[in-house]
Amino acid sequence: MLVIRKEQLEAFKSASDADFERRLLLRLSQPFPRCKEIHGEAALTAMVRLGLERAHKLGLEREDDILRYLWTMLLLGSEFGKDPQLSWATAALTTPESVPPAQRVAVLWEQAQAYRRRVMGPDDGLYVAALRSIEGKTVEDLTKLASRSQRDLLMQLVTLFPQKFKEVGEQAFSDLTRLAIEACRPYEMLDRWAVVLMVELMFLFGAGIMSDPLTAWAREALKKESSAEIDRKLGALLKAAHGCIEKLVAAH
């Protein structure tokens, strides 16, 4: 009689999980053909693993349903469910409770695509323009005037990405500022310029920039300068953002 040991079963499961991850990674490129070129395989793999954990908690089982969740992460940022700029995404996944998880994620993905067309524009042109608006800018360029008051910061955001600001509205930015302060605290960057720059990067890359696998470049830049003065940390963070922007712009 054939006896399969526990170790063999675990090995089979690991191989099956790895095959599933690889299949998901390949299918990410369907709506995002240059995602690997932009983010790199390591970041995408980390995003897929994080997304799988969350998808299972939501009750998603079918591959296509899980993919819709992963595509939404890729489009909006891995922490889209906690982003005050995307309250509609949280609502799509949580209400009403009587709606099956697969139907919720289908609605989420449909709304995410509509958001992309409405806010990011044809071929993501409006988003690319927003990214290019900070190319070559220094920390001082982006923060000096905006740090004077909340109103000045809001005006800076309007200038960076007017279509998104119109979509989000002013109310969400108090929450975004709070999240920026929390994100700066572990890196000992609690001054006005630091918070303003963090808000601006969250505005462009998502509120989860400091935990998102897709924006690991932000954490890596600050870790390398962990013992440096704030000005140097901010310079390193902005330089890393410029590097990401260069890839995003080239991909379009």
Do residue 188 and residue 106 come from a single domain?
A: no
**Comparison of pLDDT for 13 and 136, the residue scoring more:** 136
DSSP 10-26: HHHHHHHHHHHHHHHHH
- The verdict on 244 and 218 lying in the same domain is yes
- Does residue 26 surpass a pLDDT of 60? yes
Is residue 222 domain-shared with residue 146, that is, in the same domain? yes
- Domain assignment present for 19: no
- Look at the alpha carbons of 65, 67, 68, 70 in this order and tell me if their dihedral is positive or negative: positive
> Which tens digits make up the pLDDT trace of 47-64?
999 999 999 999 999 999
Examine residue 202 and state whether it is found in any structural domain, yes or no.
yes
Please report which confidence band the pLDDT of residue 18 belongs to, taking 50, 70 and 90 as the band edges: confident
- What's the whole-model pTM score? 0.91
The values of phi and psi at residue 183, to 5°, are: -70, -35
Q: Which pLDDT value is given to residue 16?
A: 55
Contact between 70 and 48 under an 8 Å Cβ cutoff? The reply is: yes
Based on the domain organization, do 148 and 210 belong to the same domain? Answer: yes
* Domain count within the chain: 2
What domain range is 133 assigned to?
124-251
68 and 159 together in one domain = no
134 and 213 inside one domain:
yes
Q: Are residues 170 and 69 in the same domain?
A: no
- From the number of C-beta atoms within 10 Å of its C-beta (0-12, 13-18, 19+), residue 15 rates as exposed
Q: Which DSSP category does 62 fall into? A: S
Res. 7: pLDDT tops 70: no
Question: Does residue 33 form part of some domain?
Answer: no
pLDDT value of residue 3:
40
Say which range, 4-8, 65-69, 216-220, 239-243, has the weakest mean pLDDT. Answer: 4-8
With beta carbons less than 8 A apart as the criterion, state whether 181 and 153 touch. no
Greater confidence (146 vs 7) lies with 146
Same domain, 104 and 199: no
Same domain, 101 and 150: no
